[in-house]
Amino acid sequence: MLGWSINLFRIFGIQLAMHVSFLLLLLFAAWEGWMGAGLAGIGWSVGFVLMIFFCVVLHELGHSLTARRYGVRVPRILLLPIGGMAEFDRIPRQPSAEFLISIAGPAVNLALVALLWPLRSHAIDPNETGIPLAFSEIGNQLLYVNLVMGGFNLIPVFPMDGGRIFRSVLATRLTYLRATYWAAMVGKTLSIMGALIMVFLFQHYLGAILFGFIFMAADSEYRQVLRREEEAVYWAELARRVAGTGAGSSPGQWQGQPPPLIHGPN
């Protein structure tokens, strides 16, 4: 599914791409604008979506450029209707590196909030169409968007930015696998809570779907890390046996690590 994308252009050598489903978001925005204010509404609604995703691209560039300082290759940034995704060839296991890479995106949003703060307006917009009549009103909208984007991404819901920050902190005290396990468990629990809040408190079903996606992503990433750990142990054991030592534990097992997610920690 992620292969259904359209390459746009390169920025800092990173390919910016748009998933085909993003076109549906633009069509929906155009329809909403047309129903609200005709042609002017289409221009404002589609333009505002593009302004939001300009901020999304800056957010992902924050992650990407910081990651490249640690030798991580970033082939592309993919725009989806639910946001953006920077694709890394690997995630550094050093806690400090993951912390800085993860916090860089929300830091960009908070920096944009600081830049937009002087442009905010306290006036009530009398325009019934919902189309901003002044640049300060656009500044208000973008300030709010970046404040929500930065704050939401700092929630410790793995594998969102806040969840990765949480894992990096845990990894200073725990093994990488155990840190991933607990970050995923907390993230999945908060995802369930978030989905329930979205459905029963706000009747926001798209938000509930987003939390469902985050839940599945947390479980998937934990299992990937677990599989890599098992493979590393297997090949290390095989190498010892070939060398004739016969030392160590059996392939695929180790001491002091949690078993697969469905069984819980030791």
Catalytic site positions: 60
* Integer-rounded Cα radius of gyration of the chain: 22
With residue 85 as reference, give the H or E element that holds it: strand 83-87
Q: Which of 55, 80, 73 is nearest to 5 (CA)?
A: 80
With residue 105 as reference, give the H or E element that holds it: helix 95-116
The alpha carbon of residue 61 and the mean position of all alpha carbons in its chain are separated, in whole angstroms, by 12
Yes or no: say if 40 and 131 are a contact pair by the CB < 8 Å rule. yes
Q: Could you tell me the CA-to-CA distances from 250 to 17, 67, 181 in Å, in that order?
A: 45, 36, 22
Judged by phi (left if over 0) then psi (alpha if -120 to 50, else beta), residue 13 lies in left
